[in-house]
Amino acid sequence: MPGPGSNPESWFEKRMGYRFSDPALLRQALTHRSILPEMLEEQESAGEGRTLSQHNERLEFLGDAVLELVVSGLLFHRFPDAPEGVLSQLRSRLVNTRQLSIIGRAWEFGELLSMGRGELLSGGRTKESILGNALEAVLGAVFLDGGYEAAQKVAHTLLQDQLDQVRIDDSRKDFKSRLQERLQADGRPLPIYEVTAADGPAHERHFTVACHVDGQIMGCGEGQSKKRAEQHAAHLTLEALESQTLDTPDEQET
């Protein structure tokens, strides 16, 4: 397994089959913002000017868009008869912080990230948000260095196992089932649904249902039946879990 001091260009070429024309782009993609104050301190101690290297957030912004396009294209061609809604659901199951962090961990991105001592001590190399962002930043760097075809090739390499497991039936699972699977995979207790309101006449009832996870309300759904309100609540809870940063917030000021 490569360590933090390993040569990232050599590692990337061996594992991804891609050589950077501008290796500085890869180094930037693997630079977390937390290390910048330490780099500045070292430069000032050496009598150098304030010439901080850039961190990876701009590349992550670009890579996010590249990844969505690449995955959309792969799904479009793999499932030629699937409607837009199904393709969107399949893409959302592949492109989210949790899935990207799993991929980043499997490909050992955390071992190559440059980050500050404080972030390292708090487990930064294994944080979901940092790993997912690093993967997107790397794709952004590949896109700038070699264009869309290069980024497509690298993305396909990174996501190959996940893509091979995608099935059309995955998009047909109801939200309650998908939420239950998600929580079980995380080792968390099953959700609890609570009807918090039932209004209107008998022929036109309107239900509000709260979805509790770990004793916390994660989503409140509405519908003309209890079942529909529960599905809506489960849907909102899934979205909350995908966007929720379970790690320590990664918002340090540089």
Which positions are catalytic? Answer: 64, 136
Tokens 């690298």: give the residue: 154
The alpha carbon of residue 251 and the mean position of all alpha carbons in its chain are separated, in whole angstroms, by 16
Q: Label residues 10-42 b or e (16+ Cβ within 10 Å = b).
A: ebbeeebebebeebebbbbbbbbbbbbeebbee
Note whether 103 and 135 are within 8 A (CB).
yes
Secondary structure of 123-189 in HEC code, one letter for each residue: CHHHCHHHHHHHHHHHHHHHHHHHCHHHHHHHHHHHHHHHHHHCCHHHHHCCHHHHHHHHHHHCCCC
Q: Give the C-alpha separation, 235 to 83, whole Å.
A: 20
Q: Give the C-alpha separation, 65 to 58, whole Å.
A: 12
Give residues with Cβ within 8 angstroms of 102, minimum separation 6: none
| Helix H or strand E encompassing 112 | helix 109-112
Tell me the two tokens of residue 42. Answer: 């070292």
